[in-house]
Amino acid sequence: MRPFDYERPGTLDEAVSLVAFDPDASYIAGGSNLVDHLKLGVATPTRLVDVRGLPLADIEETADGLRIGANVRNSDLAAHPAVRSQYAVLSRALLSGASAQIRHQATAAGNLLQRTRCVYFADATTPCNKREPGSGCSAIGGYDRYNAVLGTSESCVATHPSDMAVALAVLDASVEVLGADGVRTIPLADLHRLPGDSPEHDTSLVHGELITAVTVPALPDGAVSTYYKARDRASYAFALVSVAAVVAGDEVRVAWGGVAHQPWRATRLEAALHGGPLDEDPIRAACADELADAVTSEGNSYKLAMITGATAMVLTGLAGGPR
Amino acid sequence: MPRITMTIDGEEVGGEVDNRTTILDALRERFGVTSPKKGCDHGQCGACTVLLDGRRHLTCLSLAVAHDGAVITTASGLAEGDELHPMQQSFVDHDGLQCGYCTPGQVCSAIGMLAEVAEGHPSHVSADLDGDVDLTDDEIRERMSGNLCRCGAYVNIVTAIREASR
Ligand SMILES: Cc1cc2nc3c(=O)[nH]c(=O)nc-3n(C[C@H](O)[C@H](O)[C@H](O)COP(=O)(O)OP(=O)(O)OC[C@H]3O[C@@H](n4cnc5c(N)ncnc54)[C@H](O)[C@@H]3O)c2cc1C
Ligand code: SF4
Ligand code: FES
Ligand code: FES
């Protein structure tokens, strides 16, 4: 691990200026992703700015929905009464992520900004455009079982690993951000980027921008939602694919995890299923349409059938089960 | 180097640590507390689990400097004198260990887990997010899934925890 300075700012503004004006500085919250990357030599900041002491740890029920402070721990968010009763998809996504120990350590902002689990990204001895722009992509033509199938580029085929982000995508959440130039709100759909030719940028944040909160609009009355995650073992593993879904009257919302560089909001599928019956055949047809542009390789082609089956199971379950 | 203090197993300790030192390394190498074990050192095995400010927590992915002032209970701080903590006693009674390497983390994790159950926290396998938690074996397995055992003592670990929870 490279040596670094460690700072614990007293205010949000101080935190932002410490990072915004130092290209080699990084925020740290729970540390469960960043400390791993410091050990692996994947992240090499010369200054860590610890935001855990900042007053960003409240969950507020507002007139419009929920406001989740950036430092709220994943375990507390999953167990919050309002989240459990009104946003089952969010609670279930969080509970399916990592282990209880890690959920106590993980924060909302840190979870959204955790980096890909691509095995080559974590292995500093291999070429990786995300870790070292221009060095190449070892995953293309390499071990490809976990690679993305939608929205990939010739530069990068990594997936975004967060379960919570997939739930937040289907909930139309936004993040509130404080930067050197002030405050802005970014819809979750615009937070994570597709790789294009600059996979080193995971998100649309500018260096130094601090996530202060996540806002989640209330769901329509009578909405039901859930999260399903398919993985290599029953627990404590990242998703091969995952499905977040909301059904509210005619409206069907679906986001997929494990298939792309961002939580994949299945807008074509949603349009096709709007108002129609949530039966196996139309759901499978809508999945085929959504997956029409998918690009697969030998190791990850299973993801198409898996995401289709999972989506059908989730939507027929929500349509038939208790709302 | 920054100076930190921590309360570890009821005793206040202090010392200088490099910014890069994890809590696990501070405990084991600086403060002589070797019950938390280093397994993977990357957050994947749970061997380094302690109770940190009352919750089960990994120490290998946490910087010591970021936890100045923390109150930590490790497996070696659970006994009252010669009397083992009921969870420790249950692991002994039900053979919840073979080599014992994962055991300090398992025991801390089990104690933290029962506190989460007492607060009504649901888990991934809870059918009803709003209901009371019925601590079935499936719930125990899911809630303990962050602690891996290379010896495969799981069957007896589940029994030990189930009995200790009564
Ligand atoms: C073994 C293991 C298994 C896991 N399994 C899963 C899983 O199944 N599903 C899943 O979703 N996750 C999983 N995780 C990932 C875990 O959820 C993340 O590590 C965690 O959510 C990161 O949160 P943190 O607060 O610890 O972030 P940190 O490690 O502190 O930070 C992560 C990143 O976020 C940045 N950051 C933090 N806070 C802010 C802020 N307020 N503003 C701007 N930038 C900020 C940091 O600079 C850093 O780049 C797993 C992790 C491990 C170690
Ligand atoms: S897929 Fe992306 S993260 Fe993985 S090796 Fe290629 S460039 Fe790196
Ligand atoms: S040593 Fe900390 S989880 Fe393995
Ligand atoms: S008892 Fe040997 S690792 Fe668990």
CB-based contact A243:A311 (threshold 8 Å): yes
For Cα atoms A108, A111, A113, give the angle at the middle one, nearest 5 degrees.
110
CB atoms A101 and B62 under 8 Å: no
- Residue to substitute from A28, A44, A91, A99, interface B, most B β-carbons within 10 A: A99
Note the pLDDT of residue A296.
98
Cβ-based contacts under 8 A for chains A and B: 102
Tokens found for residue A175: 């993040």
The model's pLDDT over A233-250, given as tens digits with 9 standing for 90+, comes to: 999 999 999 999 999 999
Q: What are phi and psi of A111, to 5 degrees?
A: -65, -45
Nearest by CB to residue B123, choosing from A1, A95, A104, is A95
Binding site membership of B58 for ligand 3 (Cβ less than 6 Å): yes
Note the pLDDT of residue A320.
84
pLDDT greater than 90 at residue B131: no
Nearest by CB to residue B43, choosing from A5, A32, A88, is A32
d(CA B19, CA B3): 10
Tokens found for residue A22: 């130092």
How far apart, in Å, do the first and last CA atoms of chain A sit? 50
3-state SS track over chain A = CCCCEEECCCCHHHHHHHHHCCCCEEEECCCCCHHHHHHHCCCCCCEEEECCCCCCCCEEECCCEEEEECCCEHHHHHHCHHHHHHCHHHHHHHHCCCCHHHHHHCEHHHHHCCCCCCCCCCCCCCCECCCCCCCCECCCCCCCCCCCCCCCCCCCCCCCCCHHHHHHHHCCCEEEEEECCEEEEEEHHHCECCCCCCCCCCECCCCCCEEEEEEEECCCCCCEEEEEEECCCCCCCCCCEEEEEEEECCEEEEEEECCCCCCEECHHHHHHHCCCCCCHHHHHHHHHHHCCCCCCCCCCCHHHHHHHHHHHHHHHHHHHCCC
Amino acid A68 reads: I
Partnered with residue A228 across adjacent β-strands are: A243
Note the pLDDT of residue A322.
44
Q: Which of B81, B63, B66, B79 is nearest to B111 (CA)?
A: B79
d(CA A207, CA A193): 15
Amino acid A184 reads: R
Residues of chain A with pLDDT under 70: 321-323
Chain B contact set for A86 (CB, 8 A): none
Note the pLDDT of residue A114.
98
Mean of pLDDT values over B82-109: 98
d(CA A105, CA A102): 5
User: Could you tell me which residue, A323 or B33, shows the higher pLDDT?
Assistant: B33
d(CA A25, CA A19): 5
Residues in chain B: 166
Mean of pLDDT values over B138-165: 98
Note the pLDDT of residue A286.
98
Q: How many CB atoms lie within 10 A of CB B129?
A: 20
Q: Which of A263, A143, A147, A121 is nearest to A200 (CA)?
A: A121
Report field, pTM of the whole predicted structure over 0.95: yes
Please tell me if residue B69 touches chain A, with a CB cutoff of 8 Å.
Answer: no
Note the pLDDT of residue A321.
56
Crossing angle of helices B86-93 and B103-118, in 10° steps, is: 120
Tokens found for residue A27: 């925020």
CB atoms A101 and B57 under 8 Å: yes
d(CA A64, CA B129): 23
Please tell me if residue A91 touches chain B, with a CB cutoff of 8 Å.
Answer: yes
- Residue to substitute from A34, A101, A164, interface B, most B β-carbons within 10 A: A101
Q: What is the mean pLDDT of chain B?
A: 97
